[in-house]
Amino acid sequence: MSAYGRPPKTITISPRTLGTYIGGAILLFVLIVAASSSTTVVEPGHRGVRVTLGRVSPTFESEGLKFKMPFITTINQVSVRQQTEELVTECYSSDLQQVKASMKILYRIPENAVVPLYRDYEGDDYQSLIAPRVVEALKEAASTQSAEMIVQNRDAIKLQTLQGTREKLGELPNGAGPVISIEDITLSDLALSAELNTAIEQKMTQKEAAEQARFVQKQSEIEAQTAIIKAKGEAESIQIRGKALRENPAFLKLQIVEKWDGTSPLVVGGDSNSGANILVPMNDLKRK
């Protein structure tokens, strides 16, 4: 008996009623789960691939809220944003020198390639499709150049690698565009062995010294030619003046007049043995 002297109440639930309650709770739980799994949101920068009982829908799902059949349909998201991956690899030049290349690969998956890539290829797109083809294209480009030329022609190696990668990835059927769009490849570093770097530096130093020597030799030749031309000009000038004096004695008087500074000279007899006369300016005699 209770503290108040009354017997406690006993609630009796029949097995049928209990089963109804349990079944209702289970049904409610299933409805909640079904409602939550019947919708999904495709995030910005992504496209959805609808798969129903193992069958892939031929069209992709755009961004936003999407409805699907619960439990039997899934919508897998694939990024269509531009992505960047770093790659470090080794290749060999035409002279069999090892070159270590560090690069960055900028790529994205086109919208119309989302479904074919999901359906036809397994694994990560970069690891299974892009990286092997970039390495192969780089090796092909490097094999046509010496190690020294690879370092000097970095832009040409980059363009050949980019073009080769795009060709190896190929196109979608019916000309629908590339399977994966390789936006750009940047070669951040091309490293040679220490011995090869030293040899290249010595070769460049010798080449600069040879260029300097050729410049000095060319300059000396030009100066010598200039001196010869000048000497020929002076000789021709002397010949012309001598010819003018022989043909026209008055030409000497004209030269004297042109050189005269306005002071009258005084002729003084020289030594009787030498017979030479001396021209003394009058101004000098006046000062004395």
Under the banding of pLDDT at 50, 70 and 90, the label for residue 226 is: confident
Span 159-169, average pLDDT: 93
What is the model's pLDDT at position 63? Answer: 92
The tens digit of pLDDT for each residue in 3-48 reads: 555 666 666 666 777 677 677 778 777 777 766 678 889 999 999 9
- Angle, alpha carbons 223-228-232 (nearest 5°): 150
Domain 83-198 sits in which CATH superfamily? Band 7 domain (3.30.479.30)
Q: Using CA atoms, how far apart are residues 136 and 12, in angstroms rounded to an integer?
A: 79
Report the mean per-residue pLDDT for the chain.
80
Q: Is the pLDDT of residue 133 over 90?
A: yes
The tens digit of pLDDT for each residue in 176-198 reads: 788 999 999 998 888 776 666 66
Under the banding of pLDDT at 50, 70 and 90, the label for residue 94 is: confident
Q: Is the pLDDT of residue 137 over 80?
A: yes
Domain extent listing, the chain: 15-79, 83-198, 251-287
Q: Using CA atoms, how far apart are residues 40 and 25, in angstroms rounded to an integer?
A: 25
Under the banding of pLDDT at 50, 70 and 90, the label for residue 77 is: very high
Query: Are the C-beta atoms of 146 and 202 separated by less than 8 Å?
Result: no
Q: Using CA atoms, how far apart are residues 167 and 256, in angstroms rounded to an integer?
A: 88
